[in-house]
Amino acid sequence: MASSVSISAELTYMRIRGLMGYFTEASKRYGIPFALLLAVASRESRMGLALSADGTGDGGNGIGIMQIDRRYHPKFTESHSPLDHQANIDYGAQYLANLLRQFNRNTTRAVAAYNAGPNKVRTAIYAGLPPDSVTTGRDYSRDVLQRKQLVSQLLGLSKAVSLSYLLPLSAVAFLTYNYINPQKL
């Protein structure tokens, strides 16, 4: 499970890179909660911090912030650069919206399917197993939904924003910004 400090650093990185607008656009376009998209990006690539220099992860199979898998989405991955963040976020949101429709808006099942694929999740459900039983770490949807809650709190999207977050978040934001953009003396 990610901590509020690590999620805060990821959000700071996204702001500095100017990528938050792409999540906002995709959220509106596909009717996916903004915090859910960011939570998936957090689990997949630490919102881009875990990507290699060429924009890939997962041994080169996952591309971009949303880690679109080359093996299962070849049409998209062959026609888009792993560094095309806008297209990657848009495609990830579109795919998640499709999964939510397939699973009758059941977020747990749709998020698990984002990781393991819809057929594996359906097979698990039919066998009486939880959707996460076929996901990476066997905790993918649970972890993403916990990250969503943290993102919501950190961005002030939920009603349960704690003042205890403010000082640590300010410090992390300051340190992250200075690490990414060192000042020349």
pLDDT digits 0-9 by tens, 149-161: 999 999 998 654 4
> What's the start-to-end Cα distance of the chain, in Å?
38
Give the pLDDT score at 173. 58
Q: What is the pLDDT along the chain (185 residues), one digit of tens a residue?
A: 789 999 999 999 999 999 999 999 999 999 999 999 999 999 999 999 999 999 999 899 999 999 999 999 999 999 999 999 999 999 999 999 999 999 999 999 999 999 999 999 999 999 999 999 999 999 999 999 999 999 999 999 865 444 444 455 555 555 665 565 565 54
Residue 9 structure tokens: 């650093």
The answer to whether 157 touches 151, Cβ cutoff 8 Å, is: yes
CA dihedral angle for residue 150, residue 153, residue 154, residue 157, rounded to 10 degrees:
120
Alpha-carbon gap, residue 64 to 47, rounded angstroms: 9
Q: What is the pLDDT of residue 164?
A: 46
130, 142 Cβ separation under 8 angstroms: no
Question: Hey, what are 133's tokens?
Answer: 């039983």
* Nearest residue to 42 (alpha-carbon basis) of 1, 73, 74: 1
Quote the distance between the C-alpha of residue 88 and its chain's center: 11
Residue 20 has a CB neighbour count (10 Å cut-off) of 16
Whole-number CA gyration radius for the chain:
17
Q: Would you name the residues annotated as active-site residues?
A: 44
Q: What is the pTM of this model?
A: 0.85
Q: Is 1.10.530.10 the CATH number for 4-180?
A: yes
